[in-house]
Structure 1
Amino acid sequence: MAASCSLVCCGEERDSDKAVLVRFSNGTPRNADRLDFTLYKNVDEVNPRKKSKRILVSETDRLSYVGNNFGAGSLKCNSLCKYYVGVLNKQTMQMEMHNAQLFNMQPVIPGEMEESEKPQDIKTYRDKVDSLIEAFGTNKQKRALTSRRLNQVAGDTLQHAVAKAANTVIDQKGLEALQQEVDETELQGDLASHLPPCNANADKRENVYPFDDLLSPVDYDALEQAGSKMAALTPEELQKMRDDGGCLCVVRHLENLPTTGEEREKMARCAFYLSMLLKLSRQKSINRKFGLEEGCPRNVQNKLLRTFTVETFNNGRVQNTVSTSMRAKIAAHCLALLLHMGHMTADLTLLHRDLGITEARVIEIAKSMGLTLIKPPRAKADEALLREEHRQATLALPLVKYDQFTERRKRKKMH
């Protein structure tokens, strides 16, 4: 009766413990038991594409053989199939199953590898045609070929000069300054898209820029607690805000709050929302804790980040930033909100100081919104020194349409 054996699975094995099966491409060696094999593995074990690369080397008296499990000379069956080798223990009659890997051993002839490693010149169809023109073309075809090659060299030279000039400008001005100039240029023609919703055909001034489009009823109700804190500020605290460089627009409206009633509550809530807008405009990158220390509700914070910031990627993380166009959008919404808070009149001088932009930019935004600019009255010499002139804008029906000034350069006469 034949002896029976049992199979034993060795479980998960590392790549170094796998059995190696080899085959020689040019035949079978006579003395296979005398061959010495050396297995090399890739030193980069962190890279998943390199850690499994193996090279098997064998040497005989006449030839050297090399096989690998990657590249063009590797066997494709290693990735399509899985091989096992059984090793029988005759004492216990148990057969252990091991993972195996196949290598195709190819002979290495000295001097042949160096020639094969040299990169071959791969010619395109155009290069082949040019070679035929050089050898058998007519004089006209050869002149056209020479002209085309000269133009190609000139184009490459021009491209290299442009790239060098661009790098010089970037090194002198800085990439951030150039990006800011591009944003300002795009802002000149795209300012209308950042204005708040406008109803130019409204019969009342309050309906031209509706209050609900600036601050929705849901957000207005959420600002009840924050507005109460703003209304409870004492004159000393307001003076401290002014001295610390706080928002001058907010301080002025808080100083002139109505005594009682719904109007006082509305002004206080609008003042808090205005302070959040002004704080947002003075920052570049915004984190998720913006406004929470001041008591800003979560839904109002989400609205500010969603409406007035741009999502960018920095080191694999999403970050909210305030671009130049978003600052213009914030300025337009602040101006519309100030109109509702100031009986359709806003102080442009205080607004441009709080926003940190030039007064010319605020005036440009006011003109794009169709507001009427109010010139400060002329004062005497003594009064001008004591009183500061403030530019103001008011909303009047119908809205004013300003002509855009376009600079025209004079053409030079050719003599």
Structure 2
Amino acid sequence: MSLIIMRSEQRRRAAPSYRQVSESERLSYVGNNFDSVVKKYNSLCRYFVGVLDKDSGQMDVYNAEIFNMQPLLSGNVMPDDTKDYQNKSYREKMDLCIEAFGTSKQKRALNSRRMNAVGNDVVNTAVTKAAANVIEAKGVTALIQDVAQDEEQNISIFLPPCNEDADKPENVYKFEDILSPAEYKALEVPAAVFVNITQEEITKKTEDKSHCSFVLEELKFLPANEESRDRKARCLWFLDTLIKFSHLKVIKKKNPMGPECPHIISKKLMKNFTSLTYNNGSVQNLVSASMKAKITAYVIALALHINNFQTDLTVLQNDLKLQESRMMDIAKAMRLKISKAKGLPGLGDDHNHKLGTLSLPLPVQKASVSQRKRKKMN
């Protein structure tokens, strides 16, 4: 025999009211065909139950009513006793239904979720207790100072190799640590566009904003000496590429800087200035905040070599789209002396530009502005 439920969508007279009661081993259930829980469109429908005899092929049809069954938490099935149930969340109500009527798979999933919830509570309690013990033992002030020191150390991790015993400024951050001989050689072809650039072309590039402000300004003062001119052109091309690369977020192309960028340079950018992240089932290269700090440090070091170890940090800051406090923290971590100066003629007359100078002996590292503010607050 087979049961078939049929619905006839036609208007009918008001049906009599019924309350249906049933129970399982753990819960009792009650259902009404007349309260607010029943959907409004039920009044426009008639329901039938068909009993099909497979042997004879004949079906007997009977009138039927639809009941919305809800579990009760007590033995009394009167509506006033449903308050405790109604106060439960949707998730709790569903869990009760799964306990009573769920499949084996649903019940296993429910038990697993409840066990995980208990495990998370245990872990959270243990972590909270451990944190409280650390705070009690060390004190809030000491912990804040530790965090500030960690931030300073995190910046120093991404700086170019620093030779504190150098006898000349050019040996503090060696040029070979910024660009290897092979990388420098590969820049000859793309940087050729800068070597023979004219003032008209510089003006056109400035209008198009095809390069960063620092590079456009330095192109106006290329040396007359052929070897020095070629060296500066290569450095400016790489610096411009570094700054453009810092503006990216997720790297989706194998050669994000375009076909004119040599393969060895693209490989350097991906290997040294991105971090790997896992997203949507695939590994991606990401220019994270820490990687942008690293790019900034290498840009500053290269700019120092270009400008005889003194450079306008404000111009670089604007090109890199950084906050001034972040730029100053990185510059101070690189042991630069910071001074105020008037902006370059082509970049406005702002008197609040910051110059960074690399000179010997290197200044002693001092706490950043953010560290000093934390200490004052405590």
Under TM normalisation by the shorter chain, which class is it?
Answer: 0.5 to 0.7
1:77-226 superposed matches below 5 A: 187-226=151-190
Deviation, structure 1 residue 262: 1.0
How far apart, CA to CA, are the structure 2 residues paired with 1:240 and 1:371?
A: 34
Deviation, structure 1 residue 244: 3.2
Q: Render the CA deviation track for 1:183-203: whole Å, top value 9, x for unaligned.
A: x99755411100000101010
Matched, 1:391 2:354: yes
Larger Rg over CA atoms: 1
Alignment correspondent of 2:232: 267
Deviation, structure 1 residue 302: 0.1
How far apart, CA to CA, are the structure 2 residues paired with 1:353 and 1:189?
A: 25
Number of positions where the alignment pairs a residue of Structure 1 with one of Structure 2: 233
Contact 1:187 1:325 survives alignment (8 Å): no
How far apart, CA to CA, are the structure 2 residues paired with 1:119 and 1:395?
A: 68
Deviation, structure 1 residue 409: 6.5
Amino acid across the alignment from 1:194: F
Matched, 1:237 2:204: no
Contact 1:348 1:359 survives alignment (8 Å): no
Alignment correspondent of 2:318: 353
Amino acid across the alignment from 2:282: R
Deviation, structure 1 residue 377: 6.5
How far apart, CA to CA, are the structure 2 residues paired with 1:360 and 1:236?
A: 36
Contact 2:235 2:306 survives alignment (8 Å): yes
How far apart, CA to CA, are the structure 2 residues paired with 1:215 and 1:195?
A: 14
Alignment correspondent of 2:257: 291
Structure holding more helix per residue: 2
How far apart, CA to CA, are the structure 1 residues paired with 2:360 and 2:245?
A: 31
C-alpha change, 1:201 and 1:189, in structure 2 (3 Å) is: closer
Alignment correspondent of 1:331: 296
How far apart, CA to CA, are the structure 2 residues paired with 1:256 and 1:206?
A: 21
Amino acid across the alignment from 2:362: L
Matched, 1:401 2:364: yes
Alignment correspondent of 1:180: none
Deviation, structure 1 residue 219: 0.3
C-alpha change, 1:410 and 1:308, in structure 2 (3 Å) is: closer
C-alpha change, 1:192 and 1:233, in structure 2 (3 Å) is: same
C-alpha change, 1:187 and 1:325, in structure 2 (3 Å) is: farther
Amino acid across the alignment from 2:349: R
Contact 1:230 1:268 survives alignment (8 Å): yes
TM-score (norm 2): 0.56
C-alpha change, 1:288 and 1:397, in structure 2 (3 Å) is: same
1:243-282 superposed matches below 5 A: 243-245=207-209, 246-282=211-247
Report SS of the residue matched to 1:191.
Answer: helix
* Aligned-CA RMSD value: 3.1
How far apart, CA to CA, are the structure 2 residues paired with 1:119 and 1:257?
A: 76
Deviation, structure 1 residue 341: 0.1
Q: Render the CA deviation track for 1:146-188: whole Å, top value 9, x for unaligned.
A: xxxxxx9xx78x97xx9xxxxxxxxxxxxxxxxxxxxx99755
Deviation, structure 1 residue 212: 0.3
Alignment correspondent of 2:72: none
Alignment correspondent of 1:370: 335
How far apart, CA to CA, are the structure 2 residues paired with 1:410 and 1:225?
A: 54
How far apart, CA to CA, are the structure 2 residues paired with 1:250 and 1:375?
A: 21
Contact 2:160 2:298 survives alignment (8 Å): yes
How far apart, CA to CA, are the structure 2 residues paired with 1:397 and 1:185?
A: 25
Contact 2:245 2:257 survives alignment (8 Å): no
Structure 1 runs of 4+ aligned residues shifted over 6 Å read 117-120
Alignment correspondent of 2:62: none
C-alpha change, 1:326 and 1:265, in structure 2 (3 Å) is: same
How far apart, CA to CA, are the structure 2 residues paired with 1:296 and 1:410?
A: 49
- Structure 2 unaligned residues grouped into runs of 5+: 1-100, 109-117, 129-147
Report SS of the residue matched to 1:408.
Answer: helix
Report SS of the residue matched to 1:276.
Answer: helix
C-alpha change, 1:310 and 1:410, in structure 2 (3 Å) is: closer
Amino acid across the alignment from 1:400: P
How far apart, CA to CA, are the structure 1 residues paired with 2:377 and 2:180?
A: 51
Amino acid across the alignment from 1:288: K
Deviation, structure 1 residue 357: 0.5
Task: Using the aligned pairs only, state the percent identity.
Answer: 38
Deviation, structure 1 residue 243: 2.8
Q: Render the CA deviation track for 1:97-152: whole Å, top value 9, x for unaligned.
A: xxxxxxxxxxxxxxxxx9xx7989xxxxxxxxxxxxxxxxxxxxxxxxxxxxxxx9
The partner residue of 1:309 within 250, 265, 274 is 274
Deviation, structure 1 residue 388: 1.8
C-alpha change, 1:267 and 1:319, in structure 2 (3 Å) is: same
Deviation, structure 1 residue 296: 1.1
Deviates more, 1:329-338 or 1:247-256: 247-256
Contact 1:285 1:319 survives alignment (8 Å): yes
Contact 2:342 2:349 survives alignment (8 Å): no
How far apart, CA to CA, are the structure 2 residues paired with 1:314 and 1:187?
A: 27
C-alpha change, 1:400 and 1:236, in structure 2 (3 Å) is: same
Q: Render the CA deviation track for 1:340-363: whole Å, top value 9, x for unaligned.
A: 000001110110011011122111
TM-score (norm 1): 0.51
Contact 1:281 1:322 survives alignment (8 Å): yes
Amino acid across the alignment from 1:402: Q
